Amino acid sequence: MPRRRKNNTSHFDVIVIGSGPGGEGAAMGLTKSGLNVAIIERESSVGGGCTHWGTIPSKALRHAVSRITEFNQNPIYCANNSTIHSTFSDILSHATSVIDKQTRMRQGFYDKNHCSLIFGEAQFTDSNTISVTNSDGSIDIYSADKFVIATGSRPYHPPGVNFNHSRIYDSDSILSLKHDPRHIIIYGAGVIGCEYASIFRGLGVKVDLINTRDRLLSFLDNEMSDSLSYHFSNSGVVTRNDETCESVDSVSDGVILNLESGKKMKADCLLFANGRTGNTDKLNLKTVGLKPDSRGQLTVNNSYQTEVEHIYAVGDVIGYPSLASAAYDQGRFTAQAIATGEAQDSLIDHIPTGIYTIPEISSVGKTEQQLTADKVPYEVGRSSFKHLARAQIAGMDIGSLKILFHRETKEILGIHCFGERAAEIIHIGQAIMEQKGDANTIEYFVKTTFNYPTMAEAYRVAALNGLNRLF
């Protein structure tokens, strides 16, 4: 992608730093409001970490592995010994093609909306001025009335781990993996670690997943967490809970991970996926009076203003929920705040969680443990995928849908789904949860006629199951 600028203007109404989802949402909203906007991107093409190293490539890899697994487990093909074998490096090409398509599309957004694109490394020189270091080392100076920081985050690199070693990777550099490991250690069993555990195990790689907590993805409903643990165990992923890294020894043909419990593990390579850090360290924020916290994150108000009135921040640099979808919305709301004086909208109450393991997990609303702690009288409706005609047809019979609802008002309190297409299925329930009054009850799913056969029918089955528990 060529490095270019739309014009030679040095002063703008607003400068957005970072072209990931948050930056894009802000820039598009601001330009549509008639403001003169520039967006600065330190890489050679737009899209940010979401497009180039995070959400898009990891989900493209996951999709390729999932289809390979689906083919190999289909009895029609297994009967003829027609199995597919692939490696991580083989399927990287699919991720690369998706990244290219996304980049071209997003480049077009800026062109159509006449948003100036500036490529280089930005840092503040005073409260209204930034310098941009170009790839050739030259420096350009730009000024603006307001700024939006949308620089995203990067994998956390603890001291003592040599990420320059050819067999030690983080969740960004793993996309440059050239060799085909037979055994990988994944340190960190958060969302990223679990997703890559699924990918590598689906390719037949031996996987050791090191979890620093007592259970996988403890923020999930316990039943969903237990389902993932069982599926990992059944597929051959070895999960070690309550473990902490003491040191990593690099050897010529791999790595040795030393745990504080005294365990030692050797593998062809190590994927360190334990935490992320906000990309604020190179912005020279002290010049404008901002001080990020220990994780590189900034504090903002309801209009996404930082402690400095004319500087805003969105996305991973402000922490929770650290989702691409939420970051884009935060960018839009920031554009409203800048253009009109305040944000007219805010993030919805029920933001869904999508975890792209194999199978997927998706949740929205409260968990059983939260409702129990709050002493809410709830009931549960369940549907098992293996009983759904569509799942039987597609061979996707692993999984379930669970609806939590209030025993008296029948209000939907939480929905949790484990299985293929979970991240899509969840949105049906989310849409009903966002309704007001009597429209947000489990009875909606009984009164509605669903297409048959579909995975959506799981809602009707779960609703009937739950209502039958009432007395």
Tokens of 271: 């994927």
Per-residue pLDDT tens over the stretch 106-145: 999 999 999 999 999 999 999 999 999 999 999 999 999 9
b vs e for 222-247, b when ≥16 Cβ sit within 10 Å of the residue's Cβ? ebbbebbbebbeeeebebbeebebee
Whether 228 contacts 194, CB under 8 Å:
yes
Q: What pLDDT, on the 0 to 100 scale, is given for residue 380?
A: 98
Asked whether the beta carbons of 127 and 286 are under 8 A apart, the reply is: no
Task: Using the predicted structure, report yes or no on whether residue 3 has a pLDDT greater than 60.
Answer: no
Task: Give dist(CA 387, CA 382) in Å, integer.
Answer: 11
Q: Residue 471: pLDDT above 70?
A: yes
Residues 161 and 144 sit within 8 Å (Cβ to Cβ): no
Q: What is the pLDDT, as a whole number, of residue 446?
A: 95
Q: How far apart, in Å, are the Cα atoms of 5 and each of 107, 111, 117?
A: 12, 10, 5
Closest C-alpha among 464, 455, 460 to residue 360? 455
Q: What is the dihedral of CA 164, 170, 175, 181, to 10 degrees?
A: 80
Task: Render pLDDT for 67-92 as a digit per residue (tens, 0 to 9).
Answer: 888 888 777 766 666 678 888 888 88
Angle value at C-alpha 323, between 318 and 325, nearest 5 degrees: 115
- Residue 463 has which token pair? 């609703």
Residue 146, beta-bridge partner list: 14
The whole-number pLDDT of residue 1 equals: 37
| Confidence (pLDDT) at 7 | 47
Question: Dihedrals φ, ψ of 143, to 5°?
Answer: -130, 160
Picking from 17-26, 32-41, 324-333, 338-347, which range would have the lowest pLDDT averaged per residue? 338-347
* CB-based contacts of 240, cutoff 8 Å, min separation 6: 208, 209, 210, 211, 259, 263
Q: What is the mean pLDDT of residues 247-273?
A: 95
Q: What mean pLDDT is predicted for residues 358-369?
A: 97
Distance CA 301, CA 307 (A): 8
**pLDDT at 205 (0 to 100):** 96
User: What gap in Å lies between CA 446 and CA 467, rounded to an integer?
Assistant: 9
pLDDT digit string, tens, across residues 188-207: 999 999 999 999 999 999 99
Task: Note the pTM of the prediction, 2 decimals.
Answer: 0.93
Q: Are 271 and 257 in contact (CB under 8 A)?
A: no
Strand partners for 467: none
Mean pLDDT score across all residues of the chain = 93
Identify the pLDDT of residue 392.
92
Nearest to 346 by CA among 329, 327, 366: 329
- 214-232 confidence digits (pLDDT tens): 999 999 999 999 999 999 9
* Section 166-181 average pLDDT: 93
Query: Given a cut of 50, is residue 285 above it in pLDDT?
Result: yes
Strand 139-149 to strand 11-17: parallel, antiparallel, or no bridges (unpaired)? parallel
Q: Per residue in 452-463, pLDDT tens?
A: 999 999 999 999
pLDDT band at 4 (very low <50, low <70, confident <90, very high): very low
Indicate if the pLDDT at residue 8 is higher than 90: no
β-bridge partners, 41 = 119
Q: How confident is the model at residue 5 (pLDDT cuts 50, 70, 90)?
A: very low
Q: 70 or 45: which carries more pLDDT confidence? A: 45
- pLDDT-derived band at 351, boundaries 50, 70, 90: very high
**Domains (range + CATH), the chain:** 11-154+277-340 (3.50.50.60), 168-274 (3.50.50.60), 353-467 (3.30.390.30)
In angstroms, the CA 422 to CA 403 distance is 13
Longest dimension (CA), the chain: 75
Give the span between the Cα atoms of 150 and 313, in whole angstroms: 6
Identify the CA nearest to 185 among candidates 264, 122, 266.
266
Q: Is the pLDDT of residue 415 over 90?
A: yes
